[in-house]
Amino acid sequence: MAVDASYDGVRIENEMTQEFIDDMIERFKNGKKIHRKYVFQIIKAVKDLVYAEPTMVEIGVEQDHRLTVCGDTHGQFFDLLEIFRLNGYPTDTHAYLFNGDFVDRGSWSTEIALLLYAYKWLRPNGIFLNRGNHETDDMNKVYGFEGECRAKYNETVFKVFSESFSALPLATLIGDKYLVLHGGLFSDDKITLDDIRKLNRHNQRQPGQQGLMMEMLWTDPQTEPGRGPSKRGVGLQFGPDITKRFCENNGLEAIIRSHEVRMEGYEVEHDGRCITVFSAPKYCDSTENKGAFIKIGPELKLEYQVFDAVPHPDIKPMSSSSGDIPPGMMRHGSSPNVTCVR
């Protein structure tokens, strides 16, 4: 695929550059696209990188380094840029972990996915990406990402994004203390970190309606002990006793998850053992929630930073959605209590 001479952006050959990323950010802010050849190059490079990573990536925070954990960003590109403005862009000493749901709902999902992927290609150990329940085909067909790929690029771009999503790790273990996964815990108390390590995610491209992968992407905490049915129509809810047992059995201090709006951007539940972080403020332009992210240094202490939404061009959320709800899945896949503006 040739890039025609009239293309006015920075070009790349066989490797990503910071110059290309800086130019791409400005293009996206101004409503412009990058050339389709570069889209394919970025996705292919990152698919190969994440495919080679384990199902549960295990990382630490070295001296003079830091790590930032972000929750759902859901196509809110200008709010992602606000995170980077407040907290710094990814560097060799400042890594980011994005805990799924980069896409759908917001109308700049391709921009978010391409920016995160470009940084992953530039600095493979400077950005880590967990899969969320919206990095899946059935959700993308309904909540806007497939339609956005078609409108801005073409159907093939969606298909290669889909392949890359199915290659993403499902969890990240930070310093043997915090398990970060998009949804939450399991229907079986016997599940251990080793079960996650052994899960071959490459044999199952989509999470389906049951099993370990589905539970990691879809479950939610509840205040009552034990387990309960999910309000979403898929997955389940788990109580503080479930979280306590899992953390004790696996030597963890807490789990960090996303998947649900929190009005203050984050919430610490289950006696401090279950932490939800959500990084899409003013979600879908219809909820007056703040966003948050978690800063972690070498001592592995958690510092929460809350931020507000920033202005964006007047394009409505879910402008590319189809509205056809997959069987067995409730309409509002990120929180049972939030309705998105169509």
Q: Which residues are catalytic?
A: 134
Cβ neighbours for 183, distance < 8 A, ≥ 6 positions apart: 133, 215, 216, 217, 218, 219, 220, 235, 257, 259
Q: Which of 74, 68, 98 is nearest to 305 (CA)?
A: 68
Q: Which of 316, 310, 315 is nearest to 84 (CA)?
A: 310
CB 227 within 8 A of CB 150: no
Residue in the structure block whose two tokens are 């499902």: 170
Q: Which of 80, 72, 25 is nearest to 340 (CA)?
A: 72
CB 279 within 8 A of CB 83: yes
Structure tokens that stand for 117 in this block? 């992927």
The pair phi, psi for residue 70, each rounded to 5°, is -115, 145
Burial of 330 (0-12, 13-18, 19+ CB in 10 A): middle
